[in-house]
Amino acid sequence: MPRDPLPSSGPPPRAATLRDALRRALRAGPATAKELSMDVGLRERDVAEHLAHLARSLEHRGEKLVVEPATCVACGFVFEDRSRLTRPGACPRCRSTRIDPPVFRIEGASSDG
Ligand SMILES: [Zn+2]
């Protein structure tokens, strides 16, 4: 089978496709960054960055990305003031590294499309 040359008209809209996949995964139900990374084939650390962009584009649709904050399994500390979407490394109160990661979901306009 002959090999097709790579298209030269610019890169495919991969980032937009990824965000669409993230959005679909989140519309199916709440998920952690790790679950999303497996769903869409991203590294976990890259999911947060795409989610930040997705959150902005969702606003135009009347939707909202909701983040359930990470919590410390050991003492129950809630990482409420954490603005980043990544999982914290350790609890500032008890130093435990047993952290329940943040859970993401989409709220708002429900008709899919
Ligand atoms: Zn703790």
Say what the pLDDT of residue 7 is: 52
| Sequence-distant contacts of 80-89: CB under 8 A, at least 24 apart | 84/48, 85/33, 85/47, 85/48, 85/51, 85/52, 86/33, 86/45, 86/48, 87/33, 87/44
Distance 106 CA to ligand 1 centre (A): 28
Q: Based on the structure, what is the number of domains in the chain?
A: 1
Distance 95 CA to ligand 1 centre (A): 6
Distance 71 CA to ligand 1 centre (A): 8
> Can you read off the two tokens belonging to residue 84?
């980043």
* Residue 113 domain-assigned (yes or no): no
* Residue 54 domain-assigned (yes or no): yes
Q: What residue numbers bound the domain in which 35 lies?
A: 14-104
Q: What is the pLDDT along the chain (113 residues), one digit of tens a residue?
A: 556 655 555 555 677 899 999 999 999 999 999 999 999 999 988 998 899 999 999 998 899 999 999 999 999 999 986 556 677 789 999 999 999 999 999 998 765 54
* Residue 21 domain-assigned (yes or no): yes
Say what the pLDDT of residue 77 is: 94
Pairwise CA distance, residues 113 & 110, whole Å: 9
Say what the pLDDT of residue 26 is: 96
Distance 88 CA to ligand 1 centre (A): 11
What does each C-alpha distance from 69 to 8, 22, 80 come to in angstroms?
43, 19, 6
Say what the pLDDT of residue 111 is: 57
Pairwise CA distance, residues 56 & 41, whole Å: 21
* Residue 88 domain-assigned (yes or no): yes
> Can you read off the two tokens belonging to residue 105?
């979901």
